[in-house]
Amino acid sequence: MDARDWGFRNTLTVLSSPPPVPPREPVLSCRSNTYPKGFYCTWHLPTPTYIPNTFNVTVLHGSKVMVCEKDPAVKNRCHIRYMHLFSTVKYKVSISVSNALGHNATAITFDEFTIVKPDPPENVVARPVPSNPRRLEVTWQTPSTWPDPESFPLKFFLRYRPLILDQWQHVELSDGTAHTITDAYAGKEYIIQVAAKDNEIGTWSDWSVAAHATPWTEEPRHLTTEAQAPETTTSTTSSLAPPPTTKICDPGELGSGGAPSAPSFVSVPVTLALAAAAATASRLLICPASCEDTPARLRRSGRPELSPKTPVSILHTGRRAFCILFRHNL
């Protein structure tokens, strides 16, 4: 049966590339990021030609022809070494392009100091300043491609803003590779970037890779107890709060041979199970002594509510041992 009887139609689609065209005027630019060693030039066509093209670059310093060495790593780039530092003679760079369908060319003329543009600063780092909630310390390094920062120093331009705002704040620095921001918003994350420029000539570099930092903030104070696991396990921290009537044993309550007066706050390593039990008790008594005779001593000191059945736990902190007694109506 003919496929046309079923309403089918065979369609042939032919894909073809655009037709080749002659080259348009190339785009040419030159820049010195290694001043005073030399500069480089790059070029490209504004639109593709779809066929191979041949480029030819000519560099003149006054009437002298200079060699433009092709970059082995970057396509359509060549390097020129300065032969006359601080020369007032202009450079002229010409480029021509041709293919099987046509030819085109362009040229630019410039003074050496007008094309100086360093690479961005490197290793930009921002850090909070301890105990200073409005400060950030920013450091960076001179671009590694800048050959002689001592003889040809750079100045820097720093911009920063909190992520919650769109407007930048700016600081220009005549020297140095560090700056302290003093008007940051406490607790807000900031983005910081730095640009570089020769002190006297040229233009600013592009912005550096952004650094991020948040000013110092005071940590909230709260009571925590460390949970001591066996030596083969990792120590963890419990945030279980002790009963509100936690008491530290008085020296007199232990009788003769008692431990010295305990401080008003004792950080005691405990097991997680004990911390959980302590959190449900109405009162908790911590004694810096062995549990073997602590309940008896406390009963002799006038605490008849303590009995031999009072639950206790021995906690070792390394050099000291603590006795923990807890009951709902201790």
Q: What is the CATH number of the domain that holds 147?
A: 2.60.40.10
- One domain, residues 232 and 177: no
| In the predicted structure, residue 229 carries a pLDDT above the cut 50 | no
**Percent of the chain residues topping a pLDDT of 70:** 62
Evaluate whether residue 127 is within a structural domain: yes
Mean pLDDT of the chain: 78
Which domain-ending residue is among 115, 148, 166? 115
Q: Measuring CA to CA, which residue among 14, 12, 22 is closest to residue 53? A: 22
- One domain, residues 128 and 105: no
Q: What is the pLDDT of residue 292?
A: 52
The number of distinct structural domains making up the chain is: 3
- One domain, residues 100 and 139: no
Q: 210-228: per-residue pLDDT in tens? A: 999 999 998 876 655 444 4
Q: Which is more confidently placed, 213 or 244? A: 213
Evaluate whether residue 202 is within a structural domain: yes
* DSSP per-residue string spanning 262-330: PPS-----B-HHHHHHHHH-SEEEEESS-TTTHHHHHHHTT-TT--TT--EEEEE-SS-EEEEEEETT-
- One domain, residues 176 and 99: no
- One domain, residues 204 and 234: no
Provide the token pair at 112.
């050496």
Evaluate whether residue 140 is within a structural domain: yes
Evaluate whether residue 9 is within a structural domain: no
Which domain-ending residue is among 64, 90, 115? 115
The domain of 208 spans: 122-213
- One domain, residues 261 and 303: yes
